[in-house]
Amino acid sequence: MSDQTLESPQPADPSDADEDAPAKKKRGALREAAILVTVAVVLYYVMLTFIARPYLIPSESMEPTLHGCNGCVGDRIMVDKLTYRFSEPEPGDVIVFKGPPNWSIGYKSIRSDNPAVRAVQNALSFVGFVPPDENDLVKRVIAVGGQTVECRVPTGLTVDGKPLNEPYLDPNTMNADPAVYPCLGNEFGPVTVPEGRLWVMGDNRTHSADSRAHCSNLPADVQRGLLCTGDPVAGTIPVDNVIGKARFIAWPPSRWGGVSSVDPQS
């Protein structure tokens, strides 16, 4: 019987390991980057859903506090979605809310019919550079549930019979002086705000479709120029519709700063 010869395995070439090292390092870096991006996206989504979200101001209804108009560079604000999980909106708070059904009549989608453009618009909306395709509005809380709001020329705007202090109103912006035109529009009310609802108005009173524009009117009162004497629910919004509180102007840099929450009833 012939002897079998066992061959020893060839030793590994050190140069092969050296050649694989950069590739392994690159793959590891790519995996790490992918994990970091995934974590960042998840955290950003959690922030937008539960903590804060950017919004674009599309109209002039809150000037001079918040700037916005069709075709111009409007303010981008950060909206705090956490505060109202533990407390209720208060007079003077600037809030973002979903318009109730009677506030959304005639609302038309602001998205393009082109699927590709629409996808880009939705992506930009997610980070606050394009308005959401929903009737989200921004106004200031004037009265809360149980309070009575009205406006008469002799007294101006009042809540529970007391005149309001509103330093955020600017006659030049409104093209009207509250000292001359106390209601900055028609007289209205009295409206007793139902519990769980809010009466809201824009700081640019002469250019704001707010609670006054959506209230219920009695024909006999309308004939004498008095609005909002009908169903008090119509002109108010549910607290449950409030998305959050406007906290900070994030863009443009020239407008950086906090959003004032001056209590007009103080």
Catalytic residues: 61, 139
Report whether 235 contacts 98 (CB < 8 A). no
DSSP per-residue codes, 150-195? EEETTTEEEETTEE---TT--HHHHTS-TTTSTTSS-EEEEEEPPT
Task: Report d(CA 94, CA 75) in Å as an integer.
Answer: 14
Buried b (16+ CB within 10 A) or exposed e, 55-66: bbbbbbbbbebb
Task: Report d(CA 74, CA 129) in Å as an integer.
Answer: 10
Q: How many residues does the chain have?
A: 266
Task: Report d(CA 1, CA 69) in Å as an integer.
Answer: 100
Closest to 58 (Cα-Cα) out of 130, 127, 160: 130
Report whether 48 contacts 188 (CB < 8 A). no
Q: How would you list the strands of the sheet with 162-163, edge to edge?
A: 162-163, 156-159, 148-152, 187-192, 226-227
Beta pairing class for 237-238 and 242-251: unpaired
